[in-house]
C-alpha cells in the first residue's frame, strides 16, 4: 500500500516561529513514513537547512504568496496529494481558493498561527491589504475541510472574527522536540558576553517589528539598570533595527549595555546562558521562543498578551505575566527574576515537556486524515 502524500504550503522558510514549527511538523511526519512535499511561494530563509533529507522541497517560485495560486494549482494537478496543510493567513486564503480548481478530492486543512483580530487590525482606509485579507478570511475560511489554531485563544478569536461556528477551530499546539533542544543547547557560542563572566544577561528573540514591542523592553531595561548591573541582548532581524538602535542611544545605553544581533539558526545556547528570557509582545499566537527558553531551563517573563503566553505559563505558574505595555511592571518582574536564583525558579523544563512532539503530531495526523 502506497504511503499517503501531504503538501505543506508556506510563504517561505524565513526565520519566524511559524516557519520553524511547520518545518518541524514536516520532518516529524516524514519520519513516520508519510511522503511530504514542502511547498513554498519563495524558496528562501534560514530554515532551508533544517528541512530533513526525506522531505521534498517544492519551490513554487512565485516570489510572493499573493501570486502563488496558479503555481499551487499546477502542483496539485501534477502531484495530487491526499491533503494540504497551509499556515499563516495569506497562505491559508490561497490554499482554500485552490480548492475551486482541485483535480480530485484533496483535504484542505488551514492553520492559523496568530491572534487574527490583532494581526489584521484595521485602523484606516490606508490598511487596504488588511481590509482585503479580512474579507477573504470571512468568505473563504468556512470552505476549508478543517481549521486548526496554535492556541485556544487563537481558535476562539478566529471563530469570532470569521463568524465561524463555536468550536469549529481545533486547538493543536506546535510540537517541540525537547530532547533535540536540550542537545543543541549544549553547543558552544562565541559571543563575548557569555564568556567574560560579566553581568547577568536578559535575552529576547523575535522579528524586529511593531508586534514584538522591543521598544517596551528597552525602556524597561533602562529602569532595571538603575537597580541591577545587567545586559540586554535582542536577537532578530527586521525593519525596526535602526529605530531600536537609536532608541537605545537616546537612552544613553552603550554597546556594552545592549546589543541587537542577527537571527541564529541555533539560539538555544543563548537561552541557556541567559539569566532571564523576556517576551514583550503586543500579541502572539503560541510564541515558540517562550517554550524553547523554558525547555532550556531559563526563567521567563512575558506580557499577558493575546494569545498564548497565559496558556504556556499555566496562568502564571511557570513565569511572570505582565500587562501589555507596562514598562514599570515589566522592570519590576525582571528585577525580581534576576534577584531570584535559577535553582529557586519553577521547573520550567517540566512544563515545556507538555509541548513535546509525540502526542501533538498524532493530532495533526488525525485532522489531516492521513
Q: Which of 64, 70, 117 is nearest to 97 (CA)?
A: 70
Can you tell me the distance from the alpha carbon of 12 to that of 51, in angstroms, rounded to the nearest whole number? 12
Question: Comparing 5-172 with 179-354, is the CATH topology the same?
Answer: yes
Residue with cell 542537545: 183
Phi and psi dihedrals of 105, rounded to 5?
-70, 110
pLDDT digits (tens, 9 = 90+) for 214-272: 999 999 999 999 999 999 999 999 999 999 999 999 999 999 999 999 988 899 999 99
pLDDT-derived band at 192, boundaries 50, 70, 90: very high
Can you tell me the distance from the alpha carbon of 247 to that of 234, in angstroms, rounded to the nearest whole number? 13
- Terminal alpha carbon distance of the chain: 13
What is the per-residue pLDDT for 51? 94
Can you tell me the distance from the alpha carbon of 68 to that of 316, in angstroms, rounded to the nearest whole number? 42
pLDDT digits (tens, 9 = 90+) for 105-147: 899 999 999 899 999 988 777 788 889 999 999 999 999 999 9
pLDDT-derived band at 343, boundaries 50, 70, 90: low
CB distance 85 to 368 below 8 Å: yes
Q: 369: which 3 cell numbers?
A: 486524515
pLDDT-derived band at 298, boundaries 50, 70, 90: very high
Q: 297: which 3 cell numbers?
A: 531551563
β-pairing verdict for 169-171 and 146-149: parallel
Edge-to-edge strand list for the sheet holding 55-59:
55-59, 35-40, 5-10, 83-87, 107-112, 146-149, 169-171
Domain residue spans in the chain? Answer: 5-172, 179-354
C-alpha distances (whole Å) from 248 to each of 145, 219, 234 are: 48, 8, 12
pLDDT-derived band at 344, boundaries 50, 70, 90: low
Can you tell me the distance from the alpha carbon of 202 to that of 218, in angstroms, rounded to the nearest whole number? 11
Buried b (16+ CB within 10 A) or exposed e, 270-295: bbbbbbbbbbbbbbbbbbbbbbbbbb
What is the per-residue pLDDT for 100? 86
Q: Mean pLDDT score of the chain, rounded to an integer? A: 93
The percent of residues in the chain predicted with pLDDT above 70, rounded, is 97
Can you tell me the distance from the alpha carbon of 271 to that of 52, in angstroms, rounded to the nearest whole number? 24
Please check the confidence at residue 354 and state whether its pLDDT lies above 90.
Answer: yes
Q: 344: which 3 cell numbers?
A: 529557586
CB distance 90 to 133 below 8 Å: yes
What lies within 8 Å, CB to CB, of 25 at 6+ separation is 8, 85, 174, 175, 361, 364
What Rg, from alpha-carbon coordinates, does the chain have? 21
Task: Assign 87 to helix, strand or coil.
Answer: strand
Please check the confidence at residue 281 and state whether its pLDDT lies above 80.
Answer: yes
Q: 216: which 3 cell numbers?
A: 517596551
Can you tell me the distance from the alpha carbon of 154 to that of 315, in angstroms, rounded to the nearest whole number? 16
CB distance 267 to 205 below 8 Å: yes
Whether domain 179-354 has CATH 3.20.20.70: the reply is no
What is the per-residue pLDDT for 340? 85
pLDDT-derived band at 102, boundaries 50, 70, 90: confident
Supply the CATH classification number for the domain 5-172. 3.40.50.2000
CB distance 259 to 125 below 8 Å: no
Phi and psi dihedrals of 298, rounded to 5?
-90, 130
Please check the confidence at residue 342 and state whether its pLDDT lies above 70.
Answer: no
Can you tell me the distance from the alpha carbon of 41 to that of 26, in angstroms, rounded to the nearest whole number? 16
pLDDT-derived band at 313, boundaries 50, 70, 90: very high
Q: Strand locations in the chain, DSSP E?
A: 5-10, 35-40, 55-59, 83-87, 107-112, 146-149, 169-171, 201-205, 231-235, 258-261, 276-279, 300-303, 320-322
What is the per-residue pLDDT for 2? 67
β-pairing verdict for 83-87 and 169-171: unpaired
What lies within 8 Å, CB to CB, of 270 at 6+ separation is 189, 191, 194, 203, 205, 233, 235, 264
Phi-psi region of 33 (alpha: psi -120 to 50; beta: other; left: phi over 0): left
Please check the confidence at residue 338 and state whether its pLDDT lies above 80.
Answer: yes
Other Cβ atoms less than 10 A from the Cβ of 200: the count is 15
What is the per-residue pLDDT for 275? 95
Amino acid at each position: 500500500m502506497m504511503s499517503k502524500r501531504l503538501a505543506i504550503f508556506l510563504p517561505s522558510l524565513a526565520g519566524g516561529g511559524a516557519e520553524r514549527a511547520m518545518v518541524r511538523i514536516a520532518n516529524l511526519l516524514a519520519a513516520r513514513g508519510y511522503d511530504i512535499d514542502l511547498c513554498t511561494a519563495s524558496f528562501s530563509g534560514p530554515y532551508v537547512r533544517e528541512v530533513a533529507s526525506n522531505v521534498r522541497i517544492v519551490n513554487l517560485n512565485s516570489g510572493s504568496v499573493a501570486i502563488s495560486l496558479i503555481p499551487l494549482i499546477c502542483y496539485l494537478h501534477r502531484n495530487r496529494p491526499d491533503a494540504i496543510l497551509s499556515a499563516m493567513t495569506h497562505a491559508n486564503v490561497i490554499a482554500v481558493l485552490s480548492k475551486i480548481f482541485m483535480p480530485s478530492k484533496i483535504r484542505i486543512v488551514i492553520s492559523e498561527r496568530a491572534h487574527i483580530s490583532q494581526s489584521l487590525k484595521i485602523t484606516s482606509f490606508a490598511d487596504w491589504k488588511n481590509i482585503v485579507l479580512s474579507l477573504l478570511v470571512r468568505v473563504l475560511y468556512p470552505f476549508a475541510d478543517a481549521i486548526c489554531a496554535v492556541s485556544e485563544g487563537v481558535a476562539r478569536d478566529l471563530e469570532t472574527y470569521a463568524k465561524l461556528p463555536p468550536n469549529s477551530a481545533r486547538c493543536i499546539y506546535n510540537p517541540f522536540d525537547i530532547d533535540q533542544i536540550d542537545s543543541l543547547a549544549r553547543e558552544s557560542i562565541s559571543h563575548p558576553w557569555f564568556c567574560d563572566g560579566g553581568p547577568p544577561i536578559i535575552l529576547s528573540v523575535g522579528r524586529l517589528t511593531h508586534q514584538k514591542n522591543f521598544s517596551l523592553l528597552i525602556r524597561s531595561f533602562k529602569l532595571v539598570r538603575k537597580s541591577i548591573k545587567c545586559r540586554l541582548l535582542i536577537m532578530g532581524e527586521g525593519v525596526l533595527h535602526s529605530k531600536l538602535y537609536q532608541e537605545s542611544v537616546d537612552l544613553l545605553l552603550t554597546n556594552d549595555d545592549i546589543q541587537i544581533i542577527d537571527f541564529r539558526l541555533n539560539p538555544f545556547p543563548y537561552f541557556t546562558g541567559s539569566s532571564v528570557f523576556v517576551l514583550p509582545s503586543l500579541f502572539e499566537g503560541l510564541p515558540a521562543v517562550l517554550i524553547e527558553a523554558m525547555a532550556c531551563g531559563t526563567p521567563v517573563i512575558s506580557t499577558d498578551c493575546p494569545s498564548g503566553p497565559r496558556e504556556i505559563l499555566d496562568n502564571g505558574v511557570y513565569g511572570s505575566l505582565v500587562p501589555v505595555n507596562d514598562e514599570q511592571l515589566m522592570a519590576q518582574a525582571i528585577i525580581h527574576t534576576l534577584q531570584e536564583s535559577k535553582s529557586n525558579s519553577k521547573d520550567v523544563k517540566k512544563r515545556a515537556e507538555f509541548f513535546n512532539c509525540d502526542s501533538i503530531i498524532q493530532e495533526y495526523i488525525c485532522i489531516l486524515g492521513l
